[in-house]
Structure 1
């Protein structure tokens, strides 16, 4: 679990959650991009369940959205970090759920976040909540979503419990299997009458892997070219000295 933060004067403020899936990559909700914060003014914070005690912060290098992203539809985003995280006891990656046909209805799922709580305040300590998954047909209909997207969502609902503002992009883990099943997308109000909607990770595996592979290869190529340029520059300097 990480906190996605934006520069607010001399400080940084939490606005979305996210999940580490690789040393240089974090998954979050696509709509976290709509706030319009510049990449250079964003970072992730990790290493503690308390926002005030984060041990590691890393600026963003870039972010990537699916081509078919549209508001809360296909609501997923990859964050590329400027430098890789160092994994240890408090910072590590989570494996992705790969079974796209998995039916979570009735399963207990855990969500986490630093979003607004019941008294309207933003907590410093990470909040943890378990809720049952509900039928995708009921959820899609209740939230006015087109049927073509019902296989791409995971929905949770329990009266008196819910996620809220600031929890967007936070991870969902079901049945304690330690796999990233979803990311919080939206809900009609906090503790509203309809289920909260989460982007189902397994539905976007190809996009996630393709994007990461393409960008990682580009980074490797850029580093190699940069190294070659430096080497050629040193050689030219040496040759010039010899000619003198």
Structure 2
């Protein structure tokens, strides 16, 4: 029997509000769930502990965030199925009790028929799990299509006698759930009828494309679910009345559109020094568009258009090499992000070296409120060239001090020149211990501006439970030989996948 992996491969980005009943654990351990009652979630028993400490987001679209209609709830109790088997994952069911009800959306409907799904019936699974075996969990919710397969065929492939009443098998070669998707709902395609719970597989669909995934069959636990809801809430007819509910009332966003892409326009109003300005659009901390791809003129207004931009969360970043933003004297430039004719984000010209703004491409673009800034003056006489900065040749010594969390192997860092972004140093060059304090010294660093980015592969920064790490950059002042230091930058442990600080090494 292949090694069991608590395991979206080959899928696509879900639409915001497409699965309002999908829930995700908010802490270090990535597990999915479904809202089956205003106060109760259904998930996998092997996800025990994932929800209790850090709570849960219902209607989750971006992991750990309430963006696009998600709500956060604390958890007061996790109840595993009494017959759960840790070795075979049989009866892999667990109920999660919320501290406060969720009344602003309809729960999922639970299937009660053991003959559903039929062989080859199309199903949908969603989650924040890895998009390749051994990879990091995803920031955004993904979905994928899979199919129910014959139970005897599944038994033969696995050489294991899975009990049909509490387990079912799915397969779509090269596509399916992966690490971090455990506990998530498996629904009949284009419905909110849940038939299964993501349980386990042989690694992931990208490395074991011919092995079926094994899911917990919801109909096999209906009696236990009904009894537990009755005990916890006193609503003893909830499951029996479930199939008599009226259909959900359509909201402003119903079914996802056929095309999950949009047109994005980036509109710039430059200042008198357009050569100082560059910009990028980032997805998962990686640039997907950069510009400008032309040489703008003084005070020029220019629009760059990008078609078929996938739905999702993005970051827009503007850099100004002189450090005065899009300003020249009393004149203020600006930037706008426009989705399908709707301005969804503004950037004021009043900033320093860098300005970033989060934005979402989705089915329901929300008009942004223009930022307040000093009134824009009409340009008068544009300077013929940008001021010239003096060149410094002095050097200094800096110390990079880390207070690691309980998972130091997740953390790495780079130092880049500013604003060219050339990587000059990276680390760590050793294997730090858990909760270790460590200082790395870098000598003969030329005077100038730099940026340091700290990465966390798990996406929870320098945080373990209630413990928060940090990092500091200090310049050594050894002119008196006393080893005094001056703090140049500080970063706390509260961030996701990356944290960037800017600092300047000064002449002593």
Deviations 1:72-112 (A, max 9, x none): 11101000111111324xxx311111112335211111000
Deviations 1:37-78 (A, max 9, x none): 683x13111234122532421111111112111121110100
Structure 2 equivalent of residue 233 of structure 1? none
Q: Tell me, yes or no, if structure 1 residue 66 matches structure 2 residue 69.
A: no
**Which is worse superposed, 41-50 or 157-166?**
41-50
Deviations 1:202-239 (A, max 9, x none): 11100000011012239xxxxxxxxxxxxxxxxxxxxx
**Which is worse superposed, 131-140 or 21-30?**
131-140
Structure 1 equivalent of residue 285 of structure 2? none
Match of 2:59 among 47, 56, 59: 47
Deviations 1:138-179 (A, max 9, x none): 2133334435x1232221112211210000011111243321
In 1, the alpha carbon distance for the partners of 2:193 and 2:201 equals 23
Larger strand percent:
2
Q: Could you list the runs of 5+ residues in structure 2 that have no partner in the other structure?
A: 1-21, 236-508
Q: 1:52 to 1:61 in 2, by over 3 A?
A: closer
Residue 64 of structure 1 contacts residue 79 of structure 1 at CA under 8 Å; is this kept in 2? yes
Q: Tell me, yes or no, if structure 1 residue 23 matches structure 2 residue 23.
A: no
Residue 143 of structure 1 contacts residue 188 of structure 1 at CA under 8 Å; is this kept in 2? no
Residue 25 of structure 2 contacts residue 51 of structure 2 at CA under 8 Å; is this kept in 1? no
Structure 1 equivalent of residue 103 of structure 2? 86
In 2, the alpha carbon distance for the partners of 1:141 and 1:94 equals 32
**Greater gyration radius:** 2
Deviations 1:124-143 (A, max 9, x none): 11111001211111213333
Q: 1:24 to 1:97 in 2, by over 3 A?
A: same
In 1, the alpha carbon distance for the partners of 2:110 and 2:117 equals 16
Q: 1:22 to 1:156 in 2, by over 3 A?
A: same
Match of 1:5 among 26, 38, 60: 26
In 2, the alpha carbon distance for the partners of 1:4 and 1:18 equals 8
Q: Taking CA–CA contacts closer than 8 Å with sequence separation of 6 or more, which of the two structures ends up with the larger relative contact order?
A: 1
Q: Could you list the runs of 5+ residues in structure 1 that have no partner in the other structure?
A: 7-12, 219-244
Q: Tell me, yes or no, if structure 1 residue 138 matches structure 2 residue 153.
A: yes
Larger helix percent:
1
Residue 25 of structure 2 contacts residue 50 of structure 2 at CA under 8 Å; is this kept in 1? no
Q: Tell me, yes or no, if structure 1 residue 111 matches structure 2 residue 125.
A: yes
Match of 1:209 among 216, 223, 226: 226
In 1, the alpha carbon distance for the partners of 2:186 and 2:51 equals 27
Does the residue aligned with 1:31 lie in a helix, a strand or coil? helix
TM-score of the aligned structures, taking structure 1 as reference length: 0.77
Does the residue aligned with 1:45 lie in a helix, a strand or coil? strand
**1:188 Cα offset (Å):** 0.9
Q: Tell me, yes or no, if structure 1 residue 196 matches structure 2 residue 213.
A: yes
Q: 1:175 to 1:57 in 2, by over 3 A?
A: closer
Does the residue aligned with 2:233 lie in a helix, a strand or coil? helix
In 2, the alpha carbon distance for the partners of 1:189 and 1:62 equals 30
In 2, the alpha carbon distance for the partners of 1:122 and 1:180 equals 23
Structure 2 equivalent of residue 242 of structure 1? none
In 1, the alpha carbon distance for the partners of 2:161 and 2:130 equals 29
Residue 113 of structure 1 contacts residue 166 of structure 1 at CA under 8 Å; is this kept in 2? yes
Q: Tell me, yes or no, if structure 1 residue 123 matches structure 2 residue 138.
A: yes
In 1, the alpha carbon distance for the partners of 2:234 and 2:186 equals 29
RMSD: 2.0
Q: 1:68 to 1:128 in 2, by over 3 A?
A: same
Does the residue aligned with 1:134 lie in a helix, a strand or coil? coil
Q: Tell me, yes or no, if structure 1 residue 176 matches structure 2 residue 190.
A: yes
**Which is worse superposed, 17-26 or 130-139?**
130-139
Residue 116 of structure 2 contacts residue 195 of structure 2 at CA under 8 Å; is this kept in 1? no
Q: Tell me, yes or no, if structure 1 residue 159 matches structure 2 residue 156.
A: no
